[in-house]
Amino acid sequence: MRTSCVHYWYTCVCIFAHKSPRHLAAPPPPTHTHTPRDHTWWVQCQALLGAYKVYQHTCNPEHLAMMRGTVDFIDKYMWDKKFGEWYWGVSEAGVVPEGRGMNKGNEWKASLHTTRTLVLLDRWISAGAPCGATQ
């Protein structure tokens, strides 16, 4: 794995965990007064991929715990237990908002992010690459 890829994945995981990587400058303060804290499906997908890749690179079990926490969050708040599939997103309160939040399939969601995440994780975990290995 190239260093730039590790940097990208690590940044995704740190952003997801609301942490700032030590080697990156802190983000500028927001210029608006309201920052939505909705959880969107594609961010959860990228968090899963990022956490696993960073774990593979660093062997730090915190990243597996982040991955497990993301899976638990998806299962609890984003997964439609009656009809299947993930909702588009949920609010900070864990409520699926009417309209766009109820969307479970479109050209980006069903065919790209969700499928890509599940296929890549299956491939990476099935390969059994030990932590510390770079791909």
Tell me if 45 sits within 8 A of 114, measured CB to CB.
yes
Number of domains in the chain: 1
- Residue-wise pLDDT for 67-82, tens only, equals 999 999 999 999 999 8
Range of the domain at 97: 3-24+36-127
* Mean pLDDT along residues 119-125: 93
Q: Looking at residue 133, what is its pLDDT?
A: 61
In which element (H, E) is residue 89 found? strand 89-90
Structure pTM? Answer: 0.69
Distances (CA, A) of 60 to 12, 56, 74, 129: 16, 8, 22, 15
pLDDT class of 54 with cuts at 50, 70, 90 = very high
Is the residue at 133 inside a domain? no
Supply the pLDDT for residue 46: 93
